[in-house]
Amino acid sequence: MKYQMTGNSKMVVGALLAVCLVFGMVQIGLAARHDFNGETVTFFTVVDHDIPPMAEYFAEGPNLVWLQEVEEMFNVKIEFNSTFRGQFIPEVVAGMIAGDPPGDIFWTRLGFTKMLAAQGMIEPLYGIIDDEYYQRIPSVYRNKDFYELVGTPYAFSSNDNPQRDGVLFNNPQGVVWNKQIFEELDLPNLYELQESGDWTYEALIDIASQAQRDTTGDGEIDLWGVGGMSRGIHWHQLAATMVSNDATWVRIDEDGRATVNVTDPAFLDALQLWQDLKMIHNATGPVGRGTFAGGNMAMMVSDMTGLMLTRDNEAVQDWGWVFYPKGPNAEDYVAVTHMFYVGSLALGAKNPEALVELASALWRSTEEYMDFPMDDFVERGLDLLARDGFIADRESYETFRRMYNNMNAMPFFRDFFVNQPGAEQAFRDIRDGLVYPATAMAELQPALQAALDEYLGQ
């Protein structure tokens, strides 16, 4: 049956059926600890970009069979209730205030989940999301920052997004580089710099400065050193720069208060990099992903969207993939993912341990429910990336592996900070040398703090 999206509509996709033995590694004895006595449990999930309603994923084929087996194991009836990204938080808040939450189990972006946690809308998971739990999920997902707010666990793993069928961490940020341009200009190999620890902000500036040039002698730049996915300082670039310099725009204090951190030196360094690239070193300009795809840009700061431009591309036939360069405040290379998804429970949920176990089974996010060995999780994901054309060579394969084992996230950034009045204009003015980062952020900070206080009710 086809899902028809009508805002907050529901669809029942499961039925209690007697089925055959459980797939592969599933241990029925463990799941049988929780019996819902035939009750209905509703998953409230987000519809986001190319992510369809989760009901569609479990509506037919092997996924429907698995849903039915999970219902049988837990003696439960599963329903799905979905809404679009922009309505997810308002519908949760409205439902909780009215005493009628839109679901028992929530599935949405990490940033949305932390916002709900800060507003007291989801259930703390003390004693459930603990050290024993972390040993049951793949190592790449064991970063406690994905599940905790000020030391309190509120979320649990969904293998990021079960609908991607094993492709790890959607859209990590990195740098894709045109190896043909590098060879023609005798520029340093970025894989070698990354391996030696010398792939830094300074190296980025130096290489971009050498690459940017007028190749035809007409007085116009036609080969760009480095750029982002779109014109200006795209939020992808800024997020990657912050994380690579061990910086963040908001910090959560010990008392749980969120404090805007945009005047911190590490944050300002991230902004200064892009001003220096353009205004001092003339190594970038008003360019976007089309410039790279056309073979006229040496390096592009990008997520995996940039790698899509290299597949079957005659203009960029030889390319590489590295971490964002390491900033002066950082000790190691760190990747950032901006669209990481987790599960959580409505505040006051009955029997939260059983609900977490049910979701873990449905999403195959803990070891006992996976249909392949957990130790093979990363290799399987990398193989899927290679199959889909996101891996160019052995070095990019290993870069992805390192990224997945050193991944960070930036809650609230895209969905709050970037959308605040004045933020986007401030980034443009910084890039164009109209204002220093410290001045722009000092002016923006009070309004940001006030807006965040109001949003989080603190």
pLDDT of residue 322: 96
Phi-psi region of 38 (alpha: psi -120 to 50; beta: other; left: phi over 0): left
Find all residues with CB under 8 Å of 169, minimum gap 6, and list them.
Answer: 140, 160, 337, 340, 403, 404, 407
In what helix (H) or strand (E) does residue 316 lie, and over which residues does it extend? none
The tokens 């949760």 sit on which residue? 92
From the list 179, 178, 158, the residue with the least C-alpha distance to 169 is 158
One fold for both 10-166+340-387 and 174-338+392-456?
yes
- The CATH superfamily assigned to 10-166+340-387 is Periplasmic binding protein-like II (3.40.190.10)
Architecture, CATH, for domain 174-338+392-456: 3-Layer(aba) Sandwich (3.40)
Q: For 98-124, give one letter per residue: b (16+ CB within 10 A) or e.
A: eeebbbbbbbbbbbbbbbbbbbebbbb
Q: Exposed, middle or buried, 282 (CB in 10 Å: 0-12/13-18/19+)?
A: middle
Structure tokens at 411: 């809650």
Residue 37 is classified by DSSP as T
Could you tell me which of 250, 264, 263 has the C-alpha nearest to residue 118? 250
Q: What is the pLDDT of residue 230?
A: 60
pTM here is 0.81
Longest Cα–Cα distance in the chain: 78
Question: SS3 sequence, 351-418?
Answer: CHHHHHHHHHHHHCCCHHHCCCCHHHHHHHHHHHHHHCCCCCCHHHHHHHHHHHCCEEECCCCCCCHH
pLDDT on residue 49? 75
Cα Rg for the chain, rounded, in angstroms? 23
pLDDT tens for the chain, 458 residues long, are 222 333 333 333 333 223 333 334 444 444 457 999 999 999 999 998 778 899 999 999 999 999 999 999 999 999 999 999 889 999 999 999 999 999 999 999 888 898 898 888 999 999 999 999 999 999 889 988 889 877 889 999 998 888 877 777 667 889 999 999 999 999 999 999 999 999 999 999 999 999 999 988 898 898 999 987 665 556 667 778 888 898 888 887 777 788 898 999 999 998 898 888 888 888 886 677 788 888 999 998 888 777 877 777 888 889 999 999 999 999 899 888 877 899 999 999 999 999 999 999 999 999 999 988 998 888 988 998 888 888 889 999 999 999 988 888 776 676 678 788 888 888 888 888 899 999 999 999 999 999 888 877 77
Structure letter (DSSP) for residue 328 = T
Domain residue ranges of the chain, discontinuous segments joined by +: 10-166+340-387, 174-338+392-456
Q: Are 71 and 15 in contact (CB under 8 A)?
A: yes
Sheet of strand 224-227: strand arrangement: 224-227, 297-302, 174-178, 319-322
- Provide the strand spans (E) within 31-96: 40-47, 77-84
Distances (CA, A) of 113 to 250, 265, 273, 395, 416: 16, 28, 31, 34, 13
